[in-house]
Amino acid sequence: MATVAAGVPPEGVHHYDNAGDVPFEISKYWHQRHKIFSKYDDGIWMTDDAWFGVTPEPVANKIAEHVASAPKSKTTLIDAFAGAGGNTIAFALSGRWSQIFAVEKDPKALACAKHNAEVYGVSNKIWWVEGDIFDALNRKLKSALKKAVVFGSPPWGGPTYADFEVYDLSVMQPYSLDRLYTAFSRQCTDVVLYLPRTSDLRQLTQHAKEDQKLEVVHYCMQGASKALCVYLGSFAVG
């Protein structure tokens, strides 16, 4: 039942059907395509870069469930690096949020996210913001911040993050943990970051407020951690 799939992807955006068309660097991800998007065959769009950072659907759904435990006064969700839409779609499907903003500076990735949200039937629940998240937080989204949770799945500087036994979040490219946390927490009390499974936990604990606990959750598939989320603020994850 491929209804939305009929559209032709813009330049630089693909829906790969055949292994032979898939660039070598992303073939490992393409082989997991149905785990990443259960509706892949309904016409999911991806840029080649987006494959590296997209959150697999079961993980995105679990994260959405955990983020939903934010205080009831938090009615807005800001997805700071929406990419091809994996997390945004899960947040929209959760039905928890009155307003969801999906911010993405790469127009091609944003086109994928919008299209993929259509495939999942939730595009009308999402406000799309093309641009830089730091800029958006200072302008367009400033007034929304008080009642918002900011979720960030930033770039980790590519798959080489896995070369390090303990990943140093102070050198994460292009945005370090400090840069992200400082910008996101300036006017928002509840922040969630999706980070490498090997992230240096000591660096994360430096952002715990004295009277608050900080929760770190590993998200696993087939018995192995894919990544972790750090919950900064008032979440009831456990």
- Which one of residues 155, 178, 234, 237 is an interface residue with ligand MGP (CB under 6 A)? 155
Binding mask 81-120 for ligand MGP (x = CB under 6 A): ----------------------------------------
Please state, in angstroms and rounded to a whole number, the distance separating the CA atoms of residues 186 and 196.
Answer: 23
How many CB atoms within 10 Å of residue 15? Answer: 20
Q: Round to whole Å and give the CA distance between 167 and 149.
A: 25
Q: Whole-angstrom Cα distance, residue 117 to residue 46? A: 12
Cβ 208 to ligand MGP shortest distance, Å = 22
Q: Which stretch binds ligand MGP (CB under 6 A): 9-17, 100-108, 113-121, 147-155?
A: 147-155
Using the minimum distance from each CB to ligand MGP, give the nearer residue, 162 or 166: 162
Per-residue x/- track, 20-59, ligand MGP (CB under 6 A):
--------------------------------xx-xx---
Residue tagged 């949200």 (tokens): 117
Q: Does 16 bind ligand MGP (CB under 6 A)?
A: no
Phi, psi of 197 (to 5 degrees): -60, -20
CB closer to ligand MGP out of 4 and 90: 90
Q: Among residue numbers 171 through 230, which ones bind ligand MGP (CB under 6 A)?
A: 194, 226-227
CB contact burial 44-81 (16+ within 10 A = b; e otherwise): bbbbbbbbbbbbbbbbbbbbbebbbebeeebebbbbbb
In this structure, how many other beta carbons lie within 10 angstroms of the beta carbon of residue 41?
Answer: 15
For ligand MGP, the closer CB: 154 or 233 = 154
Residues in the site for ligand MGP, rule: CB under 6 A?
A: 52-53, 55-56, 153-156, 158-159, 161-162, 194, 226-227
